[in-house]
Structure 1
Amino acid sequence: MDSSRAHSRISKTLAHFQPHKNNGHDAVSSTSNLCAAGKRLTKLSRSCAGMVAIVTGAASGMGKATAELFADEGIFVACVDLHTDQIQKVVDGINEVHPNRAIAFTLDVRDKDGLKKLVEDVVSAWHRLDIIINNAGVGIPGGAQSAEDKFLHSWNTTMDVNLNAHIFLIRAALPHLLKSPSARVVNIASTEAFVGTGNLAAYTASKHGVVGLTKSLAAELGSKGNITFNAICPGPIHTGLTQFLETDEKERYARRRVPIGRFGHPEEVAHATLSLCLPAASYINGTTLVVDGGMIIRHAFDRQDR
């Protein structure tokens, strides 16, 4: 995708958007210092109000739920997605409740130049950047025995969206994140990062890669003192990737495999994501938070599932 064309509508949006400096910066900074000093955490240290976040894949599912929750919590949200109409609808809904709290960005996250421009536009609008939520993802079937063209499409597209885009966005945002008093990066992986599923080679490998990338960045940049990197591994969630399953099929799957006995909701993943972004979560770095209703603690599936 041509990055200049992809951002033409963004520039128009920003031209009518009144940039302003929010007044939460000093408060967040002071409470971050309290955390570092080992003093009692204040109420504000459990608030992200006034921060600025980028959420990719925000037009539906977990990304949409995260963007809406963040806005409810006082975070300014750059909502990014490939689908123009859908992402604009999400942003319109947010701004109807919280005026000027969100901006829509139409972008294919495989566009490296587009990711750089995204960061520039977000900082231009809100003068800071504190949180990155790498949520955009795809799952395209393909395995070792697939036809060559099918496998290459699955592998290249999945890796570009699920893994490469994560690090390219982080690299573009890093200079600004390091200026934040309480920067947070949360990469959305999957319980597939712990196991393997046949005919999903690229998806499985990409999610293992997301967890590995998260740990590497946490080790590399943790000493900066103001930034953490963590991963969320959702299990079976009601999203676009599971909508092809019939309701009764989902129920059978959940009863057999998930101790809680149901599929999760996008909002439950959003709340887990928010918890890792709080200033009070300053000592959680390089971890993988599993949100799966207990699915991966099962030693083995029922015979009927094999």
Structure 2
Amino acid sequence: MTDTHDDPRSVRDRAVLVTGAAGGMGEAAARLFAQQGARVALADIRGEAVEAVAASIRDRCGQARAFALDVADGAAVARVVEAAAQHWGALDILVSNAGISVQCALDDPGYDLRWLRGLEVLLTSQQRIVRAALPWLRRSDAPRIVTVASTEALGASAGHSAYAAAKSGVAGFTRALAVELGREGITVNCICPGPIETGMTADIADAHKRTFARRRTALGRYGLPEEVAHMMPSLCLPAASYLTGAVIPVDGGLMARNA
């Protein structure tokens, strides 16, 4: 029998932590990793919801363990990352996906609070999670970090300045980590989803979504969480050992289109 850790196209038996895994792209990623034989720790602020996702994965013979986690709580981040790694006895892959929507006009009286909350959840949490995971990743023979930003990091929309600033920070943080950790064999890459059908876009009217997608994307539609999630295991394969520091739009051609 082939040792799965010698298979450059497999994440089987890898220990994975996915944040923001109670729904959307995080849930899709957790399910996909589990389907491919990885051992998955799922973390989300919605404790009951993320446990339900983990239970569903286990019902399908996948390996999954759920953890309630508010990524804005630094002590909780350290505790949960350690607990997840201890549970599997390893941590090979970190997918830092948790996020919130931050939409606020610059002159809104609540802008400062929205700005601070956005930075805490979307950017500061990223470095906390990576720093907590680093001792375990250094023990892996194929350590991978995937951050999730947004196409707002590449081209912004009105009313999203706090969100765009935080997501741009994630892209920059990713490149800096790739340089800092590269000599240790730790790859760090960033996915920038475009318009995706998730809870964060659920309040947008379907007619508005169709109009936006038709005008702005090459494919003419919103994407599905699974279409973003499929990029995540690909970046984490042993075969992806020379890919690092990349900021990759998964956006249906949004950033490619200029008219």
**Structure 1 stretches of at least 4 aligned residues deviating more than 6 Å after TM superposition:** none
* In structure 1, distance between residues paired with 2:14 and 2:219: 34
What SS is found at the alignment partner of 2:188? Answer: strand
Post-superposition offset of 1:87: 0.7
* In structure 2, distance between residues paired with 1:200 and 1:259: 23
Equivalent position of 1:255 in the other structure? 214
Q: What are the superposed Cα offsets for residues 214-271 of structure 1, whole Å, 9 maximum, x if unpaired? A: 000000110112x100000010000011111122221111111111111100001000
Q: Which runs of 5+ in 1 are unaligned?
A: 1-23, 32-43, 301-306
Whether the aligned pair in 1 keeps the contact of 2:143 and 2:187 (CA below 8 Å) is: yes
Equivalent position of 1:165 in the other structure? 125
Equivalent position of 1:286 in the other structure? 245
Equivalent position of 2:236 in the other structure? 277
What SS is found at the alignment partner of 1:79? Answer: strand
Post-superposition offset of 1:123: 2.1
Equivalent position of 1:102 in the other structure? 64
Equivalent position of 1:244 in the other structure? 203
Equivalent position of 2:48 in the other structure? 85
Equivalent position of 2:94 in the other structure? 132
Equivalent position of 1:74 in the other structure? 37
Q: TM-score scaled by structure 1?
A: 0.82
Equivalent position of 1:202 in the other structure? 162
Higher share of residues assigned helix? 1
**Which of 87, 94, 106 does residue 144 from structure 1 map onto?**
106
Who wins on radius of gyration, i.e. which is larger? 1
Aligned CA-pair RMSD: 1.4
Count how many residue pairs are aligned between Structure 1 and Structure 2.
259
Post-superposition offset of 1:124: 1.7
1:234 paired with 2:234, answer: no
1:123 paired with 2:85, answer: yes
Q: What are the superposed Cα offsets for residues 143-173 of structure 1, whole Å, 9 maximum, x if unpaired? A: 32111xx112211111111111111010011
* In structure 2, distance between residues paired with 1:187 and 1:236: 17
AA matched with 1:131: I
AA matched with 1:260: L
What SS is found at the alignment partner of 1:296? Answer: coil
Equivalent position of 1:304 in the other structure? none
Q: What are the superposed Cα offsets for residues 33-88 of structure 1, whole Å, 9 maximum, x if unpaired? A: xxxxxxxxxxx210000001110100010000000001001111111011122111
* In structure 2, distance between residues paired with 1:96 and 1:239: 24
What SS is found at the alignment partner of 2:220? Answer: coil
AA matched with 1:45: P
AA matched with 1:163: L
* In structure 1, distance between residues paired with 2:129 and 2:256: 33
Q: What are the superposed Cα offsets for residues 154-211 of structure 1, whole Å, 9 maximum, x if unpaired? A: 1111111111111101001101101100010000010111112222121000110000
Equivalent position of 1:175 in the other structure? 135
What SS is found at the alignment partner of 1:145? Answer: coil
Post-superposition offset of 1:142: 2.0
